[in-house]
Amino acid sequence: MTTTESAPASTTRWTAQWKELYEEVITTGLCTGCAGCVVTCPHDVIGYEHEEGKYKPFHIEEELGLDNCTHGEKGCTTCTRACPRFRQWEESADMHLFGRVREPNEMSGIWRQLLLTRASDKTQHDRGQDGGFVTAMLTWLLKNDYIEGAMVSGVEPDDAWKAKPVLVRTPDEVLATAGSRYTYCANPLALKEAKELGLTKLALVGMGCQTSAPPVMWDRKAGKVGKPFVFNIGLLCSKTFDDAIFPELFEAKYGLKKADMVKMNIKGAFQIWMKDGSFHEINLKECHQWTREGCKNCPDFAAEHSDIATGGIGKDNDWTLTIVRTELGEEVITRMIADGVIESRPAQEDEVAMKLLRTLSIVSRRRWPQWADGAPAVGVPEPKKKVDGAAPAAH
């Protein structure tokens, strides 16, 4: 791979356009499908299909073929400036958010505080995937005028497990989209609706592949497209699954129909609760063949470029592991605690969570290809012994 240009754009003339994005990210397996390039393209020539087996950008104009762009040939470079997998993206986002790159030993990225939190409001807590912290935070951000809306994951009206990006603007809408779907949802796509409504202050909820996009855009000076992202909430993530896992594994082998599922979680196993009250655990090894293509090279477990990252690892089911990363994140969490909308305690009390955070971050970093930019692999220890080709438990 050629890495003749380096971020930030201010030091070297940045000329890379769709042609380079296509060649270095989309066709090499680095593309996560985050849709950062799609929502920032000023000419609206990057399409995206939010469908089973797709979740990838493509060029709409065929004038120069699928691998080149007429606007790019005339000097437009927005898509590569917005892509959180293009060239030195980790350094770029680190420098912008923290003023330094992570130390080799900082496997889960740079942080200020590690907490376990949960919503004080019972409904938010009950509806949330773990502690309902994300739901409580979005509600608080809306009420306190930090944001006018948030880009989150809702579901299709006729399918409670087909995730789709949605814009939420009220506490009720936030509550309706709580909980985790383990298939992909490119939440940045909800930016289009927010722009049409003239909203300028938005939160993005998303896995690391998505929450790295805004800081990369800001660092590489992608322009006003990056302005509406004012708060980034990360979701810890080992992988997402193809939508086909529902019919091909859960239903075909275990008779578990998607329409009858009420809740799912991944805690060492794929856990599924059904309408009839039954509970099922499916070995994660069985699920691996449905790992979504865009996740296979992803090195970012801990959503390392969010303001606050959240996860469900640890010994307690109903608390959210909360990694406070930026000054803004710290300001918000301090105010939320003072307002009594969340309970919190130091995460270091949960040794299991601390160990898993490091282990799973290392496991994800090991997936990053050797031929790509070296930063995500810096400091990553070699595996001690091979574990029968098995991938790790997601939580």
Ligand X SMILES: Cc1cc2nc3c(=O)[nH]c(=O)nc-3n(C[C@H](O)[C@H](O)[C@H](O)COP(=O)(O)OP(=O)(O)OC[C@H]3O[C@@H](n4cnc5c(N)ncnc54)[C@H](O)[C@@H]3O)c2cc1C
Residues of this chain that interact with ligand X (CB under 6 A) are 128-135, 152-153, 163, 177-182, 185, 187, 205-207, 235-238, 240, 310-313, 320, 394-395
User: Is 294 a binder of ligand SF4 (CB under 6 A)?
Assistant: yes
CB of 74 to ligand SF4, least distance (A): 20
Picking from 353, 236, 366, the residue whose alpha carbon sits closest to that of residue 301 is 236
CA distance 362 to 385: 14
In the complex, minimum distance from the CB of residue 325 to ligand SF4, in angstroms, rounded to a whole number: 15
Shortest Å, Cβ 25 to ligand SF4: 5
Contact at 8 Å (CB) between 20 and 80?
Answer: yes
Q: Using CB under 6 A as the criterion, what x/- string covers residues 63-82 for binding ligand SF4?
A: -------------------x
**Residue 313 contacts ligand SF4 per CB under 6 A:** no
Our finding on whether 237 is near ligand SF4 (CB under 6 A) is yes
CB-nearer residue toward ligand SF4: 128 or 234:
234
- Which span (63-71, 238-246, 271-279, 325-333) binds ligand SF4, by CB under 6 A? 238-246
Which amino acid is present at 331?
E
Secondary structure (DSSP) of 244-308:
THIIIIIIHHH---GGGEEEEEESSEEEEEETTS-EEEEEHHHHGGGB-GGGTT---SS-TTSSE
**Residue that is written with structure tokens 């691998």 in the block:** 67
Residue 190 interface partner, choices ligand SF4, ligand X, none, CB cut-off 5-8 Å depending on type: none
Angstrom distance (rounded) from CA 168 to CA 194: 9
Select from 140, 143, 130, 149 the least CA-distant residue to 204. Answer: 149
User: Per CB under 6 A, which region of 152-160, 234-242, 315-323, 379-387 contacts ligand SF4?
Assistant: 234-242
Could you count the other beta carbons within 10 Å of the beta carbon of residue 391?
15
Q: Is 295 in the site for ligand SF4 (CB under 6 A)?
A: yes
Among 83, 114, 256, 264, binds ligand SF4 (CB under 6 A): 83
Minimum distance between the CB of residue 96 and ligand SF4, rounded to whole angstroms? 16
151 binds ligand SF4 (CB under 6 A): no
Q: Which amino acid is at 380?
A: V
CA 154 to chain centre: 15
